[in-house]
A and B are shown apart, each in its own frame.
Chain A
Amino acid sequence: MFKIISAVIGRDLKLAMRRQADIVSALFFFIIVVSLFPLGIGPEPDLLRKLAPGVLWVAALLATMLSLPRLFADDHRDGTLEQLALAPHPVGLVVTGKVIAHWLVSGLPLALVAPVLGIQFDLSADALIVLTFAILIGTPALSGIGAIGAALTLGLRGGGVLVSLLVLPLYIPVLIFGAGAVDATVTGLGGEGHLSLLAALTFASLGFAPWATAAALKIALE
């Protein structure tokens, strides 16, 4: 079971390393969108502190969306998806591997740059730590839920826009608890409750999403 998951992760990471432009463009999108807000709003620390959690999280959702359409599309086009579906393992395990690889190249870099971007919003050290944590444990849920959307729109024309319409509403709970955790820290309430709910969302979606995705892929491959 772990062998197939690690084989898929290894392959996808190797492919991502050969195609670094994809990773870098999503990351720079995140950096630029987040940096535009302080420039547009002006130097008002109170307002910026208030906006920071929401802005960072919305930008993280959009940056994750950017790479979703390609999650299965490339494999579908060159026929490797068929071979993955024919591997002597449940397809859900293959999808789990792909979701983990997607998080490693899209979610993890966001969490690593988030604290640096948070400084622009005058966030306190505590809030920055919570922000990093929240993005670290929330983004796997984004990859998992996104995989369902990517599989459902596989092979459709204009699939990219459709993925956003399908997936963004499902991201709302992650957005609420992710931004809420930072917000609660800023206001001094403590973000632990939000963080545990966020972790629960991530576990639930990582457990459930691969199987829903596998069912969607099966339909796409018929």
Chain B
Amino acid sequence: MLEADNLECVRGERRLFAGLNFKLEAGELLYLQGRNGSGKTSLLRMLIGLLPPEAGEIRWRGQAIATLADEFRADLCYLGHLNAIKEELTPLENLLAAAHLADEELNDDDALDALEQVGLAGREDLACKYLSQGQKRRVALARLVKEKRPLWILDEPFVALDVAAVDWLAGIISGHLQRGGLAVMTTHQLVDIPAGTVRELRLS
């Protein structure tokens, strides 16, 4: 479903990688590994269409993502290393606003349920600026609970999470793979994802 064909990435004067190929089918997870600065985040940004590749092409369901544009983005859920939450809004408002902007249906009950799952019950009406770093990360991750889109692209999703939350997130990701979803993620800590086929790609 997701195919990268001969990708090349140049940032500034440096060529980070060239001739990169992979193919990902439904229910598969791609672990991107590599040291700092090896181009993991650049590759993710290419996959979501924000960074045009120097050469090569990315295809989703057989068509180039550049031509699919909106159609591709409707299938995509991206979680960057920034949390993309507004400090002034409460976790509940953040979750609802993110869903509305992404054109997804999310009602208050579902949102409250998602927040409860990430352990933020009782804090849904507190402005996010009063939350800790890990709690803010949880607000960002709460989006994934009700996320039905087939392609998840996650940049370092396990950062700033405690052990219990890491297990919880691994469960959410394997649930997604079981439903036939795809996921690409970068991480420095290898977490065991119980379901789906796990592929690894090392950038060097």
Contacting residue for A87 out of B82, B88, B93, B102, CB 8 A: B102
Is B56 part of the binding interface, using a Cβ–Cβ cutoff of 8 Å? no
- Summarize A's interface: helix, strand, loop or mixed: helix
Taking CB atoms and an 8 Å cut-off, the chain B residues in 65-88 that contact chain A are: 70-71, 73-74, 76, 78, 80-88
Q: Mark A207-222, 1 if CB is under 8 A from B, else 0.
A: 0000000000010011
Is B98 part of the binding interface, using a Cβ–Cβ cutoff of 8 Å? yes
Tell me whether A88 and B89 are in contact (CB under 8 A).
no
Kindly state the separation between the CA atoms of A181 and B131 in the bound complex, as whole angstroms.
51
Would you give the shortest CB distance from B101 to chain A, in whole angstroms? 5
Tell me whether A15 and B86 are in contact (CB under 8 A).
yes
Tell me whether A87 and B84 are in contact (CB under 8 A).
no
- Chain A minimum-CB-distance residue to B51: A222
Contacting residues, chain B, for A7 (C-beta < 8 A): 97, 100-101
Q: Mark A83-108, 1 if CB is under 8 A from B, else 0.
A: 11111111000100000000000000
Tell me whether B70 and A89 are in contact (CB under 8 A).
yes
Is B50 part of the binding interface, using a Cβ–Cβ cutoff of 8 Å? yes
Contacting residues, chain B, for A4 (C-beta < 8 A): 101, 103
- Contact A80 B89, CB 8 Å, known A85-B50, A87-B102, A88-B70: no
Kindly state the separation between the CA atoms of A111 and B78 in the bound complex, as whole angstroms.
40
Is A18 part of the binding interface, using a Cβ–Cβ cutoff of 8 Å? yes
**Size class of the A contact interface (CB-based, 8 Å):** 20 to 34
Total interface residues on B, CB under 8 Å, equals: 30
Contacting residues, chain B, for A15 (C-beta < 8 A): 86, 88-89
Tell me whether A78 and B73 are in contact (CB under 8 A).
no
- Contact A86 B70, CB 8 Å, known A18-B88, A19-B88, A80-B84: no
Kindly state the separation between the CA atoms of A7 and B103 in the bound complex, as whole angstroms.
9
Would you give the shortest CB distance from A15 to chain B, in whole angstroms? 6
- Chain A minimum-CB-distance residue to B97: A11
Tell me whether A87 and B103 are in contact (CB under 8 A).
yes
Would you give the shortest CB distance from A1 to chain B, in whole angstroms? 11
Would you give the shortest CB distance from B44 to chain A, in whole angstroms? 11
Tell me whether B50 and A222 are in contact (CB under 8 A).
yes
Contacting residue for A78 out of B49, B83, B97, CB 8 A: B83
Tell me whether A8 and B84 are in contact (CB under 8 A).
no
Kindly state the separation between the CA atoms of A108 and B88 in the bound complex, as whole angstroms.
23
Is A157 part of the binding interface, using a Cβ–Cβ cutoff of 8 Å? no
Contacting residues, chain B, for A86 (C-beta < 8 A): 48-50, 73, 76, 78, 102
Taking CB atoms and an 8 Å cut-off, the chain A residues in 120-173 that contact chain B are: none
Would you give the shortest CB distance from A29 to chain B, in whole angstroms? 22
Is B52 part of the binding interface, using a Cβ–Cβ cutoff of 8 Å? yes
Kindly state the separation between the CA atoms of A18 and B89 in the bound complex, as whole angstroms.
8
Kindly state the separation between the CA atoms of A78 and B140 in the bound complex, as whole angstroms.
11
Contacting residue for B80 out of A18, A19, A82, A94, CB 8 A: A82
Tell me whether B89 and A82 are in contact (CB under 8 A).
no
Kindly state the separation between the CA atoms of A82 and B100 in the bound complex, as whole angstroms.
15
Would you give the shortest CB distance from B49 to chain A, in whole angstroms? 8
Tell me whether B101 and A87 are in contact (CB under 8 A).
yes
Tell me whether A14 and B83 are in contact (CB under 8 A).
no
- Contact A78 B85, CB 8 Å, known A86-B48, A89-B70: yes
Is A42 part of the binding interface, using a Cβ–Cβ cutoff of 8 Å? no
- Chain A minimum-CB-distance residue to B99: A7
- Chain B minimum-CB-distance residue to A88: B74
Across the A-B interface, the 10 shortest Cβ-Cβ residue pairs = A79-B82, A88-B74, A79-B84, A18-B88, A7-B100, A88-B73, A83-B84, A11-B97, A80-B84, A88-B70
- With A82-B78, A88-B74 given, can you name 6 additional A-B contacts, CB distance below 8 Å? A10-B100, A14-B89, A15-B89, A83-B98, A83-B102, A86-B49
11 contacts between A and B (CB under 8 A): A10-B100, A15-B86, A78-B82, A79-B80, A80-B84, A80-B85, A86-B48, A87-B101, A87-B103, A88-B70, A88-B103
A residues near B, CB below 8 A? 3-4, 7-8, 10-11, 14-15, 18-19, 77-80, 82-90, 94, 218, 221-222
